[in-house]
A and B are shown apart, each in its own frame.
Chain A
Amino acid sequence: MQIPPTDSVDRLSFPATAGSAVSAGSSEIEQQVITLFEQFRNSLLRYVLAFGLSLEDGEEVAQEVFLALFRHMALGKSRRNLRGWIFCVAHNLALKRRHANRRLYDPGALAEALSDRELDPSPNPEEQVLSKERQTRLFAFLRAFPEQDRCCLYLRAEGLRYREIAHVLGISLGSVSASLTRSLMRLMKAYDR
């Protein structure tokens, strides 16, 4: 199995094994999926947590994504741009899960959870407090973003290229570009304060 590392490709396309995936042994596909899970689980989990899901729900969504990926590969479907495919499925499942839970999106919950952690290793207690305040303020700021802008930002943070983001969210390249610019300009102002 040859799976290029994330950093080495712009638009991740995983080559199929010799012959179609249908003819490939299921154990081989299982191994490929496990490898992809190891490679993308953290990115995926961070992304779906940004939807306000609990960690348990996020883990479950990640499991579902890779089970779906197994079926996708076993049925011999396209392996081009699997990273985009993975995030696209995760995006849809996260939305579905959030709707099923009837929870409102609440990035503040994530901020609160993070505020309990030791975010800044600075030995100065005053700096630690300032750092926490800054983080909380930024999370609150992010919370005010339109969902599409937030998704664009998080997907870009996970290394997806504009074309992949456009594919995942079903929007145009121009919209991705405009959304990211808008988000960064807002963040810039927030950091300036």
Chain B
Amino acid sequence: MLNKNFHPSDQDLLLFSDGELAGRRAARVRRHLVACWRCRAQAAKIELTIGQFMELHRQTSELPPIASPRALLKARLAESALHLGHDRWQAMFFGLPRRALAYLCAFALMVALGTKVLLRYVPGYESGSREYAGLLPNPTLTPGATRPIAIGDICSMDHDEVVLPISATLRQRVFEEYGMRGVPFENYEVDYLITPGLGGSDDIRNLWPEPRYHAIWNSFVKDRLEDYLHQMVCHQKLDLTTAQEDVAKDWISAYKKYFHTNVPVLIEVSANSVPSVCNAGSAGSQLDCFSMPIAAKWD
């Protein structure tokens, strides 16, 4: 800005000198300096002051040689480079556009919430067997519980006679514990994880809502496993504790282990005989029966 006497201000002179004035203003100052000795003298004084200051500043430029700091920096850079991979990963993540990051976070949140819901409301999801999510009890809620009993006591009766019905109140408590509200209860059987025929108790820790109508691994299949293990224990083909532990850990795996099959079968056997094993189709309509010397495998 030119002052009231049409001379450039000191600030304009400095800006002009530093090449920081815009084109038209710079041209005006340049024209003025050509014509005005006073302003040229002032501009020269500014330049002189800059020169004197730089001379002073130069005195402080007598710094130690660069060789040693440069060598130190090289060593530190080499060390930093070792951590570069991690930083690069961070860069890839944090370098994403904010909107993409927001979508990623929202997606992660939804997955986390979904998992939480599954863990809370789907029986057996937490059992560690994702393949059979919903078919196995929640091990936290239903770890299995036994009662002290002698083998003679459980073997003096048939398995069906040992298993006592579960009261409606207890069934209701089990449903509540599993957070099952508004679901059709008739589709579930509140079942013993370790059946009383194998020494299981009616403690709530041994009870869980088992799906009745799952196409393959339903409560009827588990009943057959329980019958079979009861017979094996009573015929001293299997240790009671092992039977309890196998069922409590994962009854489907136990089924596969003791029936030597990956799909449920229909069995009309006793532990002393050669069983007739019938593969059940997924719909259960077509039965393919064959003989399998199970007893021989146990011996």
Q: Given that A67-B73, A157-B54 are contacting pairs, would A46 and B80 also be in contact in the complex, using a CB cutoff of 8 Å?
A: no
Q: Given that A184-B46, A188-B46 are contacting pairs, would A177 and B11 also be in contact in the complex, using a CB cutoff of 8 Å?
A: yes
Task: Find chain A residues with CB under 8 A from B297 CB.
Answer: none
Chain B contact residues, majority secondary structure: helix
Candidates B49, B61, B87, B88; contact of A46 at CB < 8 Å: B61
B73 & A37 in contact (Cβ 8 Å cutoff)? yes
For window 45-103 of A, CB contacts with B under 8 Å fall at 45-46, 49, 55, 59, 62-63, 66-67, 70-71, 74-76
Proximity string of chain B (54-70) to chain A, C-beta cutoff 8 Å, 1 when within and 0 when not: 10110111111010011
Candidates A26, A33, A187, A191; contact of B84 at CB < 8 Å: A26
Candidates B49, B60, B74, B88; contact of A75 at CB < 8 Å: B88
For window 46-101 of B, CB contacts with A under 8 Å fall at 46, 48-50, 52-54, 56-57, 59-64, 66, 69-70, 72-74, 76-78, 80-81, 84, 87-88, 90-92, 95
Task: Find chain B residues with CB under 8 A from A37 CB.
Answer: 66, 69-70, 73
Apart from the given pairs A42-B61, A184-B14, 12 other A-B contacts in the complex at a CB distance below 8 Å: A26-B84, A33-B73, A37-B66, A38-B70, A46-B60, A67-B76, A117-B62, A135-B56, A177-B15, A181-B14, A184-B50, A187-B49
B45 within 8 A of A: yes
**Nearest A residue (CB) for B47:** A184
Candidates B10, B11, B74, B81; contact of A34 at CB < 8 Å: B74
Task: Find chain A residues with CB under 8 A from B81 CB.
Answer: 26-27, 30, 70, 74
* Bound-complex Cα distance A42 to B65 (A): 9
A-binding residues in B (CB < 8 A)? 10-11, 14-15, 18, 20, 45-46, 48-50, 52-54, 56-57, 59-64, 66, 69-70, 72-74, 76-78, 80-81, 84, 87-88, 90-92, 95
Candidates A70, A161, A178, A184; contact of B77 at CB < 8 Å: A70
B-binding residues in A (CB < 8 A)? 22, 26-27, 30, 33-34, 37-38, 41-42, 45-46, 49, 55, 59, 62-63, 66-67, 70-71, 74-76, 110, 114, 117, 119, 135, 138-139, 153-154, 156-157, 161-162, 177-178, 180-181, 184-185, 187-188, 191
Task: Find chain A residues with CB under 8 A from B20 CB.
Answer: 161-162, 177
B66 & A38 in contact (Cβ 8 Å cutoff)? yes
B69 & A67 in contact (Cβ 8 Å cutoff)? no
Candidates A70, A138, A162, A178; contact of B80 at CB < 8 Å: A70
Task: Find chain B residues with CB under 8 A from A63 CB.
Answer: 69, 72-73, 76
